Amino acid sequence: MHLKWFLLSGLRSATTGGRRYHLWMGTLTLVMLLGAYGYSVQLRDGLGVTGMNDHTSWGLYISNFTFLVGMAAAAVMLVLPAYVLEDVNFSRAVLIAEGVAVSALCMCLAFVVADLGNPLASWHLIPKIGILNFPRSMLAWDVVVLNGYLALNTIIPFYILYSHYTGRTPNKSRYVPFVYLSVFWAVSIHLVTAFLMAGLPARPFWNHGLLGPRFLASAFTAGTAFMILLLWFVDSETDYDIDAGAFRKLAMVTTVAAQVNLIMLGSEIFTEFYFPTHHVESARYLFFGLEGYDALVPWIRVALVMNVGATVVLTLHPLRENRYWLLSSCAVLFVAVWVEKGMGLVVPGFVPSPLGEIVEYSPTWVEVVVTAGIWAMGLFILTVLTKVALPIELGIERSPLIVQERPGQTRSQAGGKQRAGT
């Protein structure tokens, strides 16, 4: 019975709001519809409507997928201190981080499906009915870890929210084991995604041991930068106050991750260019262009400048503690990592081809529209999750059955009601 009310009040929370809320959700829906149209064209005519080809066989979809796995993994930076270290600063922020993880994972799965040439056959991936080539294929690993992480990040917050909704205190022995699991799991999802590429001797640009650690560093850069932006929005626009300590600590995490990321990038660039071998061609294509082909050069250079600039700003204490500088450098870092780790990582792996041929890639309108649609879907999910979670955490939404069922435990509920009334 509680569950029914939980879902009903969730639906109510998600569908009520001010004019700006409806405008936001309406815009997202419109973009999603556009994306659905683009995908219908792709389904009808095949992936030939994208900019991909036999030479550059992965493009914008896999680029976004790679980036978003990092976004999902970054939730661990709040989950670990909040649940494991019991850091009170993070106790409120962590639910939002888990919402980010869930929506990022939904986007990841959507991007993978959008990239499949034969999506109707994706049931072949289901063990027993189909064949999952586990543990040999890293893509099979990715299927397992992404879905597992999605489950973990859905179950834990659901249990906590539902307990609060029904006026109970969440039982630690029930959810903390899953939290520990999810901490390791978060690291594994991004390492596995890196190994998916690093394990290919055919692509020297990816085939090195630094790729995995670098994925983690850039994930914790862009992921926590996004969390700071989102938490700031929640803090300033809703009654749900985020502890100032959370911002301070997250800013520190972002800064250190960005520094480590730059060190690794520098290390990569040194190895490639100090004594250039055959393997340098992809990096040369990315940073300088190859035989007149240089589509990615302006992108990566701007991203590099943004990356370095934002990292310097964050490194300086007075600037990092200034809210304006913090938020703008977080936004800059987010975009810079998206370029560098998305298109800047996936596409050069294919240029030049293993036989030395150069075929450039640029996305078509279908890819752009589908990508925008999936991002809109992710933001839609994130908005709904946040919109549903906040009133429960604030004590505004409580199961109407509490009073009758558990007369002894209504104190917190009454308090919540009071706060809502004021």
Partner 1 sequence: MTDRRDLTFEDLLRNAGVAEAQSRLERLAPDPATLPPSELERRRGSAARAGGGGGCGSGSCGCGSSAPSNTLLDKPLDRRQALGTLFGALAVTTQAVGACSPVSMESDEEREAKLLERDEFFKGNYRLMTPEEQTETVRRLERLAHLRGQGDVQIRTDQALEGVMYGYAFNISKCKGFRNCVEACVQENNLDRPSDRQYIRIFEKPDGESIDDLEHADATYGHEVPAEGHYYLGTQCFQCANPPCVYVCPVQATWQEPDGIVVVDYDWCIGCRYCMAACPYWARRFNWSEPEVPAEQLNPRQHYLGNRARKKGVVEKCTFCIQRTREGRLPACAEACPTGARVFGNLLDPDSEIRWVLEHKQVFRLKEDLGTEPRFWYYMD
- Chain residues binding partner 1 by CB under 8 A are 45-48, 52-55, 57-58, 112, 115-122, 124-125, 128-133, 136-140, 143, 196-197, 199-203, 278, 281, 349-350, 352-357
CB-based contacts of 418: which residues, under 8 Å, 6+ apart? none
Nearer CB in complex with partner 1: 161/197? 197
To partner 1, the closest distance from the beta carbon of 357 in angstroms equals: 6
Q: Which is nearer to partner 1, 198 or 390 (CB)?
A: 198
Q: How far apart are CA 58 and CA 116, in angstroms?
A: 10
Amino acid identity of 323?
A: R
As a three-state string, the secondary structure of 53-89 is CCCCCCCHHHHHHHHHHHHHHCCHHHHHHHHHCCCHH
Give least dist CB 287 to partner 1, A. 17
In angstroms, give the least distance from the CB of 201 to partner 1. Answer: 5
Kindly tell me which of 54 and 86 has the beta carbon lying closer to partner 1.
Answer: 54
CA distance 20 to 23: 5
Least CB distance from residue 110 to partner 1, whole Å?
14
- Neighbouring CB atoms inside 10 A of 34's CB total 16
> Could you give the angle at which helices 138-165 and 2-15 cross, rounded to 10 degrees?
100
Nearest alpha-carbon partner for 10 in 366, 350, 391, 408:
391
Closer residue to partner 1 in complex, CB, 200/210: 200
Least distance between partner 1 and beta carbon 19 (Å): 43
Q: How far is the CB of 219 from partner 1 (least distance, A)?
A: 21
For every residue of 166-197, DSSP letters joined together read TT----HHHHHHHHHHHHHHHHHHHHHHHHHH
Q: How far is the CB of 355 from partner 1 (least distance, A)?
A: 5
Residue among 321 and 357 whose Cβ is closer to partner 1: 357
DSSP 101: H
Burial class (CB in 10 A: 0-12, 13-18, 19+), 377: buried
Nearer to partner 1, 42 or 261 (CB): 42
Return the number of the residue (191 or 385) whose C-beta is nearest partner 1: 191
